[in-house]
Amino acid sequence: MPHPRALPPFHADQVGSLLRPASLTDARTRHRAGQIDAAALQAAEDAAITEAVRRQRACGLQSVTDGEFRRDWWHLDFLSQLDGVTLVDNGGQKFKIAGQSEQPPIASVTGRVGCSGPIMAEHFRFLAGAVARDMAAHGGPGAVAKMTIPSPSMLHLRGGRAAISREAYPDLDAFWDDVAAAYRVAIGHLADAGCTYLQLDDITFAYLCDPKIRDNCRANGDDPDALPRRYAQVINAALAGRPAGMAVTIHTCRGNFKSAWVAEGGYDPVVEAMFSTDVDGWFMEFDNERAGGFEPLRHLPAGKQVVLGLVTTKLGELETADALMRRIDEAAKVVPLDQLCLSPQCGFSSTHHGNALSQDDQWRKLERVVEVARRVWG
């Protein structure tokens, strides 16, 4: 029988974002209204993260995040701190998600991309300290503080060439070189802060599974067959020289905004390019039929992990342990069981709005992930 994994990704793992508690939502609203200062908001964030760490460890999770509680959007809060990146209005376009009208800004490249200082390194330091304090106070098994940041490809797919200054970058090869270099610096700062488990959140691979999005790429002058390889190259360049001992995973997201999603289609068009990235594992969404079957996992390289996103974060209904174990058995017909792990399919709150389920639903689902992983892998 397989043994529990000692290194990330873990057999029971998670994507990262958590529903914001009411206390934090209230503090952020009051801060925007000028009723409390930045220090008071940070104190509310610190308290919420400390409690979230306690709850995650109480669930039995080995990977512990800050729930992305200091962010409004899973990607923009990081990308906007890169040199040469400006958040701009989306021009009146709407989210390509049924029933949703709100759209986040677009990360527009207005100058040369760089990283002139640490980005979110202090966020990680607080998280790591909170995990250490909780372990000292409550004991229990060890846990690893996990940091999530957007993939470097996020500076291209959503806005495309139109969102990248031609004055700064008449040649896109120079753009990708700068993006990779900036990420190497940012990742180095996170490593200096003690990060040993980093996740790149990426929509590009999963979006390019969708025939409609592939058609849109062609209409914009891009080749949807070439883009996955280009994105894999920039990810590998961004991770070049990463510190020894830092585990890195990629989460392939199909969209996650107030329980709505964007992309559908099996992984066949992108899986070989995606699996060429120099990471330790891939979090892949498989919570319903929109992701296709497990057959593309046959391309998984030896020694790498796939984290099966079988527990949905879109709905509050709790999956049964037996149903999850049956699906793991199905995947194990394609990939050896010791190369598989389990997690929710996405975060619970990729944006500050959160998905349409309760705090209790969220914690029950994380507990179910741990329960099933222990039954399957020990």
Strand ranges (E), 266-323: 281-285, 305-311
Identify the CA nearest to 66 among candidates 284, 349, 358, 373: 349
Report CA torsion sign: 351, 354, 359, 364. Answer: negative
Three-class secondary structure of residue 228 per DSSP:
helix
Instruction: Enumerate the H helices of the chain as residue ranges.
Output: 22-32, 38-59, 76-79, 121-138, 172-192, 204-207, 211-219, 227-239, 271-274, 321-331, 359-377
Any domain includes 17 = no
Any domain includes 278 = yes
What is the extent of the structural domain holding 286?
Answer: 22-377
Any domain includes 8 = no
Any domain includes 3 = no
The answer to whether 187 touches 238, Cβ cutoff 8 Å, is yes
Give the tokens for residue 362. 């969220």
The domain that holds 226 is classified in CATH as 3.20.20.210
Find tokens 């002058």 and name the residue. 221
Any domain includes 1 = no
Per-residue pLDDT of the chain (378 residues; tens, 9 = 90+): 566 788 999 999 999 999 999 999 999 999 999 999 999 999 999 999 999 999 999 999 999 999 999 998 878 889 999 999 998 876 555 445 445 566 677 888 999 999 999 999 999 999 999 999 999 999 988 899 999 999 999 888 777 888 899 999 999 999 999 999 999 999 999 999 999 999 999 988 988 988 888 888 888 888 999 999 999 999 999 999 898 899 999 999 876 666 666 778 889 999 999 999 999 999 999 977 778 899 999 999 999 999 999 999 988 899 999 999 999 999 999 999 999 999 999 989 777 776 778 999 999 999 999 999 999 999
Number of domains into which the chain is organized = 1
Question: What's the rounded Cα separation, in Å, for the pair 364 and 317?
Answer: 10
Any domain includes 51 = yes
Give the tokens for residue 77. 């809060």
Any domain includes 146 = yes
Phi-psi group of 68: left, alpha or beta (phi > 0 → left; psi -120 to 50 → alpha; rest → beta)? left
